[in-house]
Structure 1
Amino acid sequence: MTGVIHISLTSPIPPCYLEFQFKGKEYTYWIERRTNGKTTRTYRYVGNTQVCKVRYNMMKWDFPLNSGGYSIPFTFQTPTGIPGSFYYTLGSTQAMIYYSVYGKLISNTEKLKGKTRVNINQNPSSYKTNINITKNAKLSTWCCSPKGILTMQVHWPQDTYSPSQLIECLLEIDNSQCKLPVTSVTAKLYYNLRILCNEGMHHFSSEVLLNANFDRQVQPGEKAMGQNSIRMQLDISSMRNKISNLHTTHGKLIECAFLIEVKAQTNGSCMCCGDSSSITSNFVIVPDNISPLAQVVIPTGWSPQIYNTVSMVYDSRYEVGPSGNYNINQPQGYVQANNIPSYDQIAPVVDYRNNLQIAPSYETVVKNSQRIEEINNTTAIEPYLENIDNPGMKE
């Protein structure tokens, strides 16, 4: 992720340092009501676990910091293997995975701090193409009367989609060995959500997001194969707003999976001794590119001093407090521009005045402060520091 921390001082402050913090959490909540015939009891379940929480010293001033504006660009390589941002609410049920970036300017007498939410995309564990699934369904009608075998084959070009894409597939049906006609074909997209609480109890939710019906008939003894196969399309962009924050997720407390069931509809079926004429496939739904959440409000006359970019890489040595047990690939070491010391090391005396640049125009500051980039499938917006301990200072 990339960003800029902006500091605006209306009066000087003593020698200080700038702290950077990246934190992620999973949170779940739901209510269950149980009745024993006479009384009804309400049970509330809560899950809360820390994904990660790291702190670094970005910069240190061994001299008083004068009033004025300061902008410190930064890059931060987030840990791999963590779940993506996720927001789900249905009734009283909640499931969230959220991340925040904090900036703190700390001296002996002052503390300015601010934070902003950032969105993290979880990379798919695999990306499959040209997927073929075949099923030979032994069909029966009422009273277990056998009607032969219906063969279905579904061809998917890929298994990973974003909400703005069109899902397509080809369905081949061999009805030459079956006595039942296929009257139509349906496709159903739905999700399964499983969440856990701290005590290990789980809650399951499932919802059909899209139903599509294709008016295609295949009579007994006929085939719909090759050039005569059935082409199906599912336009998931029509429900883009509904799943904008709902996508495939594998966290410690939250798991969300998407599936599509393709079914050949027939006249009559007996499931006690026959098979279902359907094929269910797993899919990965990933978010679209994330747009900026909000714009930074630039103070009147804003013309800050711009520092060199500070580069940071996630390292588990700088974790603060307990975190979830994720499979995180940890980069070796902590890299910064200007050889700035890390959080738990004793910082040598460094004069950062040599890194100051000529203050740019207001238009340049606005352009730089609104710069949003994606690195390692992560999007961030810049935090703007605000003073909470000294009412005399402004943002």
Structure 2
Amino acid sequence: MGNKQGSEFGGIMVRTEKSIYFAGDVVKGNIYLHIIKSGYHGNVVQFSIVGKEKTRWQTGSGKNSTTHYGKNVFYEDTVVINTFLDEKLMIGQFVFPFQLDLPSDLPGSFYYSDGLLASVGYKIKVQVISTSKSINDIKNEQEIIIREPIKEILQVSQEKETANLSTWCCKKQGSCSIIAKVDKNLYQPGEYIQIAYDIDNSDCKLNIRNVDVIIMSRLNIRSNSGSQYRVEFKINSFSQNGIQKGTKLQSSASTGCSLQLINAKHPAIVLTPSTAGNLVNFSYHVKINPNFEGCTCCSSKPIVQVPTTLLEVLPQDYQEPILQPENWQPQAFQPFIIKSNSTNPFNNNNLKNMANPMNS
């Protein structure tokens, strides 16, 4: 995973126990170093982790088009894992176990690239630093996925909207209110959201033909210059019958429904959890959209949006085995514990992918 760069002198690789972590977790892994030829000028083994946001989108067209860019390195740590006594690396196999404490307020990983770019990504990089201008560093990197932990208290989520209706832009038709709630504010992909809504149409002269109940996702991105862009996606939806003018749907007869958190058009695609970065913000909400009779296109409607958070919950014992090459008999070093130097983060493939020639 990631870019790899070997050398005629050998190769290096980093592998973590898992490919997915939560912010605040402890990342454990190994750095494998295989030197097959003497004469490499450099004896420092360095570890670094970088968290970076990127955005890009275009507005306008032709000569009037503008491309907006955003880049934010919100998390970065670099430490020296080991310094060999000999300034020229000796031939041999070496393994350096490490343990990294992640900050608890990191944003979740995210990637979207259909017509625009919005990404939040993390990479762990390891390298043996060359002291010769004619010899490149021996280096390797691995991407890891980070999810946001539960930050909210589990509770019912509710919103209310009231709007004054008019037809043909100027003919007043009274007001309508809608209260909508979902059974909780935190969900996992594939769960069902229990939705209830009350409609007070007693002061309105318009019938409500039907009510659309929709699960939406929303992507908000920013550039370094402060420009902003928003795009919304319909995840799942259905429609229910409305009510007549001058009537009220009492709370005791609330319209209840259940809607699953899946991509209705592509059910096999697992929904991406919510993330809250500086440049990239991805969220979900339940939308209650009433459709009135008559021409109300220039009038406001009582559209209710109830925010929800989508989380990813992994088993407590989730762990991927760290494999090592055949005939691998390394010199093992004591685990290196890395404490984050960042006080404010916002200012697994197999070993066969190791930088060649690993198995020579």
The bucket for the TM-score relative to the shorter chain is 0.7 to 0.9
Counterpart of 1:27? 54
SS class of match (1:71): strand
Give per-residue Cα distances to partners, 1:21-48, cap 9 Å, x unaligned. 111222222334445xxxx455444333
Give per-residue Cα distances to partners, 1:302-355, cap 9 Å, x unaligned. 3444443322110149xxxxxxx8557xxxxxxxxxxxxxxxxxxxxxxxxxxx
Kindly provide the amino acid, as one letter, of the partner of residue 283 in structure 1: T
| 1:165 and 2:188 correspond | no
Would you say the 8 A contact 2:217–2:235 is kept in 1? no
| 1:84 and 2:108 correspond | yes
Equivalent residue for 2:232, pick from 198, 204, 207 = 207
Kindly provide the amino acid, as one letter, of the partner of residue 86 in structure 1: F
Give ranges in structure 2 of 5+ residues lacking alignment: 1-26
Q: 1:143 to 1:120 in 2, by over 3 A?
A: closer
Would you say the 8 A contact 2:75–2:345 is kept in 1? no
SS class of match (1:129): coil
CA distance in 2, matches of 1:72, 1:143: 71
Deviation at 1:65, TM superposition (A): 7.0
Deviation at 1:297, TM superposition (A): 6.5
Counterpart of 1:49? 72
Bigger proportion of residues as helix = 1
Q: 1:211 to 1:114 in 2, by over 3 A?
A: closer
Give ranges in structure 1 of 5+ residues lacking alignment: 318-324, 329-369, 371-380
Give per-residue Cα distances to partners, 1:108-159, cap 9 Å, x unaligned. 6785321111112234654452122233444444475444443321122223
Equivalent residue for 1:58, pick from 46, 57, 81 = 81
Kindly provide the amino acid, as one letter, of the partner of residue 256 in structure 1: F
Q: 1:32 to 1:66 in 2, by over 3 A?
A: same
Q: 1:94 to 1:228 in 2, by over 3 A?
A: same
Counterpart of 1:195? 221
1:124-143 counterparts in 2 under 5 A? 126-127=152-153, 129-142=155-168
CA distance in 2, matches of 1:256, 1:312: 30
Equivalent residue for 2:121, pick from 98, 105, 108 = 98
SS class of match (1:301): coil
Give per-residue Cα distances to partners, 1:245-301, cap 9 Å, x unaligned. 5x53333333334333202333225465x64132123333345649x9998774222
Instruction: Give me the identity figure in percent.
Output: 21
1:246-395 counterparts in 2 under 5 A? 247-268=273-294, 270=296, 275-287=300-312, 289=314, 298-316=324-342, 326-327=345-346, 386=354, 394=359
SS class of match (2:113): strand
CA distance in 2, matches of 1:252, 1:143: 39
Counterpart of 1:182? 208
Kindly provide the amino acid, as one letter, of the partner of residue 79 in structure 1: P
Number of equivalent positions? 326
> Please, which moves more after superposition, 9-18 or 166-175?
9-18
CA distance in 2, matches of 1:218, 1:56: 65
Would you say the 8 A contact 1:103–1:383 is kept in 2? no
TM-score by length of 2: 0.72
Counterpart of 2:45? 18
SS class of match (1:62): coil
SS class of match (1:158): coil
CA distance in 2, matches of 1:230, 1:220: 17
SS class of match (1:105): strand
Give per-residue Cα distances to partners, 1:50-104, cap 9 Å, x unaligned. 223221122334368765543332211123433322211013x212221111122
Deviation at 1:160, TM superposition (A): 3.1
Q: 1:122 to 1:240 in 2, by over 3 A?
A: farther
CA distance in 1, matches of 2:170, 2:60: 40
Q: 1:175 to 1:45 in 2, by over 3 A?
A: closer
Counterpart of 2:244? 219
CA distance in 1, matches of 2:281, 2:238: 29
Counterpart of 2:18? none
1:141-160 counterparts in 2 under 5 A? 141-142=167-168, 144-160=170-186
Kindly provide the amino acid, as one letter, of the partner of residue 31 in structure 1: Q
Would you say the 8 A contact 1:150–1:178 is kept in 2? yes
Q: 1:108 to 1:138 in 2, by over 3 A?
A: closer
> Please, which moves more after superposition, 73-82 or 189-198?
189-198
Kindly provide the amino acid, as one letter, of the partner of residue 237 in structure 1: I
CA distance in 2, matches of 1:143, 1:253: 38
